[in-house]
Amino acid sequence: MTLSGEYVQGTIDRELVYVMNSYFTPRFSLYQSADLDINRAWRQQRAGESVSLSNLYINGNLKLSRALSVGFSYDNRKNYYSYQWRSIADSLFDDAMRYGARGSINLRLPNHWSVMVNGGIRSKEGDSKNSTSYAASLRKSNITPLRLFFGVYGSGFSNTYTQGNHASVRVGANLRSGHSFDISYGGYYYTANLTRESRTSQWIRSNLNLYLGRHWYLMQSYEYFWGDDAPGHRVFVEAGYRL
């Protein structure tokens, strides 16, 4: 537990109690954190209460077997009054509570195969429609003798304003001496709910990581996008020294 206070020229900016708890076993883990705002003076007048929960986060993971694990997370949060917002009209300050929950399943199969599936939902007080999202992947690693790996990924979302999907495939290798490379191809499609306008884009990307010895490394990335959004080439190069 932590007590915290921030002040601007003697005026309260924010006072809060931060609470964090965690519990771990070989099969089960649980983490929780929360922000409890202490509202005094002008903050109590604006918030209408002396104590308010502005943030709560809970995350848990359960290992059902050596191959299967499930996870769950929940959070809620809302904006809090701070010094810079003390003069704003109540009608302009967004203090609606936002909620979110997400679940996941991870399955490790023989011969270095793995499957991941997750999905979540988010809502906001006053909104007529919830936001939903989901994702899934199938991966294979340690394909000998070159230690190749590949993966297929997909995701989607839907909210008040847009809905869409994304898919990609990635192939690469983790080489000896710390070198690695991969190449991937993907695309996404989304539609604006109000105008029914649809947009589609695709991309191809390559990454190369080289360990040059004596703590020096070189990273290179090249991307080519085409379609409706931001077409063009992108190149990234980084050289560095790790202590």
Q: Using one digit for the tens of pLDDT, what is the confidence trace for 100-142? A: 999 999 999 999 999 999 999 999 988 888 999 999 999 999 8
* pLDDT tens digits, one per residue of 41-79: 999 999 999 999 999 999 999 999 999 999 999 999 999
Domain locations in the chain?
Answer: 96-241
Predicted pLDDT of residue 178: 82
Of the candidates 142, 163, 140, which has an alpha carbon nearest to the alpha carbon of residue 150?
140
User: Region 199-222: what's the mean pLDDT?
Assistant: 94
- pTM as predicted: 0.81
Residue 52: what are its φ and ψ, rounded to 5°?
Answer: -140, 145
What CATH number does domain 96-241 carry, 3.40.50, 3.30.450, 2.60.40, 2.40.160? 2.40.160
DSSP labels for 83-108? GGGTTS-GGG-----EEEEEEEEEEE
d(CA 170, CA 181): 11
